Structure 1
């Protein structure tokens, strides 16, 4: 019996779930080949190794390709939260080794987020966030880190994290946005058999919260470019508290790239408590080519990521 393999995406604009599933599988196969699992490459791409599902919730943010980078002129809760997220990410990043030029840019962006004076007034928070984002995009590699062509697009994508964590935007049935976002993930999980979950960016937050209510088994949870290490802004707003490994998870591997600003280089074992079976996240650093490091496919193509996934699929198949 094939185990289930569930991909959970992160922030970004609208996407075709079937096409994305194929792209993620091919990236995983590339990483598997590099990890010495060439014989499983065709099985992965053709869907023979696992029942692959792509849990898509991007349409729930109501974004269009034209509007996804729009940032309100007026200050709102999401914009303020994005500013807090960036401040914490910058504080964490500044504690890591960095070049003098990189440190100068990071400190300047940090100062822009906290400046007082004439910039105050209506819309001040939005202006600060956009100014800091513009400064950060001058860092080599960061503009392509998340596929951000502009500061507005960068902030627009990060606002999705804020909107999820705000727990608002109830629909006509009274279901808040975060509840509706978790539903596609819930439906993708195997309620009886094993499910291997690979989640990226905001999807790591969504998946972790979803798995607390899952009664099936998760032999492996893989998180890529997770913001959960931002303990004050993200971790403290997740549910349930205290932040803990879901009981359904038997193993958790977390991967982060130093050039991925979203992760801030924080190891999740410092932010997430073990579950009752003593399972805790194990964080591993990966290094890409320095370009477009945040997209999921860059992580999946890493042999250090793909190897354990293939091994988990094989173990679950023969269990």
Structure 2
């Protein structure tokens, strides 16, 4: 019976549903108050506005590395992880605000394409990609790949969603089970935007609003070609879609998501740009500090 459904992205496997829900609600409440929406903030804080977190982190438990050398997934998932990592490097190269970050990513991409060969097998390239990601400015500052096992697991979560049908269906069900006739908005971050996109295509009732931020929906060689359904289109029951991006967010694949959808699409709006803290441009809580992210919610809740 939630009026607001939240969908998390990649992250630690032990980060609980209640922890994520509490953190997101606190951030939303603060942003509402800072922008003169005291009554809405109070309703959210006190629970008068019902909120649910679609939580699916437990589905990734089989793919948690035990140490920096563990590669706990099959070959196809390793290949997908490598491709996701290469796409992330390309994202930084194409739209980083700092020319030095962009140039560094270009050098790493060139080195990666030189060093990876079929004789290495499917797992060595993933380790190489994680090591290279850890050297790139935006990622090194965020700690995304500070440890090899952490970087492998983060890439592996995207690969698991794409390659393990039980993970995919479980994540989609975590969204659909929380969206009811009372739901006015879904907000989604990172991999959660992919889960929400696919889930809402199965929705059998109108949904007023979807807000996505830090979205990899346009990753060229991985996600864009494997999203369901194809070709890309707005979910039929969705009335408004607002997308938020930081150009230094290494997961964000395109700053112009609307160009990937049909020209006749009048539901998905032009992407709103924000500037998150330099330390972690991909963090959900950074996005929730911006009025651009929260204003659409204030209009419907």
TM-score normalised by L of structure 1: 0.84
The within-5 A match list for 1:3-22 is 4-12=3-11, 13-22=13-22
1:121–1:66 CA distance, 2 compared to 1 (3 A): closer
Aligned to 2:268: 280
* C-alpha distance in 1 between matches for 2:62 and 2:148: 17
* C-alpha distance in 1 between matches for 2:82 and 2:207: 34
Higher mean C-alpha displacement, 9-18 vs 198-207: 9-18
1:218–1:91 CA distance, 2 compared to 1 (3 A): same
Shift, 1:91, TM fit: 3.0
* C-alpha distance in 2 between matches for 1:234 and 1:182: 16
1:238–1:273 CA distance, 2 compared to 1 (3 A): same
Q: Which runs of 5+ in 2 are unaligned?
A: none
Are residues 1:302 and 2:290 paired? yes
Aligned to 1:162: 159
* C-alpha distance in 2 between matches for 1:279 and 1:272: 10
In structure 1, which of residues 264, 279, 302 is the aligned counterpart of residue 253 of structure 2? 264
* C-alpha distance in 2 between matches for 1:302 and 1:69: 36
Aligned to 2:136: 139
* C-alpha distance in 2 between matches for 1:69 and 1:29: 38
Are residues 1:189 and 2:187 paired? no
Q: How many residues align?
A: 300
Question: Is the CA contact 1:200–1:226 (under 8 Å) kept in the aligned structure 2?
Answer: yes
Q: Secondary structure at the match of 2:135?
A: coil
Are residues 1:178 and 2:178 paired? no
Shift, 1:152, TM fit: 3.0
Question: Is the CA contact 2:2–2:179 (under 8 Å) kept in the aligned structure 1?
Answer: no
Q: Secondary structure at the match of 1:36?
A: coil
Question: Is the CA contact 2:85–2:155 (under 8 Å) kept in the aligned structure 1?
Answer: no
The within-5 A match list for 1:26-105 is 26-48=26-48, 50-62=49-61, 67=66, 71-72=70-71, 76-96=75-95, 98-105=97-104
Shift, 1:228, TM fit: 0.5
Q: Secondary structure at the match of 1:266?
A: coil
Q: Which runs of 5+ in 1 are unaligned?
A: 169-175, 314-319
Aligned to 1:248: 237
Q: What is the root-mean-square deviation in Å for CA atoms of aligned residues?
A: 2.7
* C-alpha distance in 2 between matches for 1:107 and 1:141: 14
Question: Is the CA contact 2:64–2:153 (under 8 Å) kept in the aligned structure 1?
Answer: no
Shift, 1:19, TM fit: 2.2
1:97–1:206 CA distance, 2 compared to 1 (3 A): closer
Shift, 1:292, TM fit: 1.8
Higher mean C-alpha displacement, 286-295 vs 221-230: 286-295
* C-alpha distance in 1 between matches for 2:193 and 2:96: 26
Question: Is the CA contact 1:5–1:195 (under 8 Å) kept in the aligned structure 2?
Answer: yes
Higher mean C-alpha displacement, 232-241 vs 95-104: 95-104
Once the two structures are superposed, residues 57-88 of structure 1 have per-residue CA deviations (whole angstroms, 9 ceiling, x without a partner) of: 11011158774976528971122112222323
Aligned to 1:121: 119
Are residues 1:233 and 2:222 paired? yes
* C-alpha distance in 1 between matches for 2:28 and 2:68: 29
Of Structure 1 and Structure 2, the greater helix share is in 2
Q: Secondary structure at the match of 1:282?
A: coil
Question: Is the CA contact 1:137–1:143 (under 8 Å) kept in the aligned structure 2?
Answer: yes
Shift, 1:213, TM fit: 1.0
TM-score normalised by L of structure 2: 0.88
Higher mean C-alpha displacement, 55-64 vs 15-24: 55-64
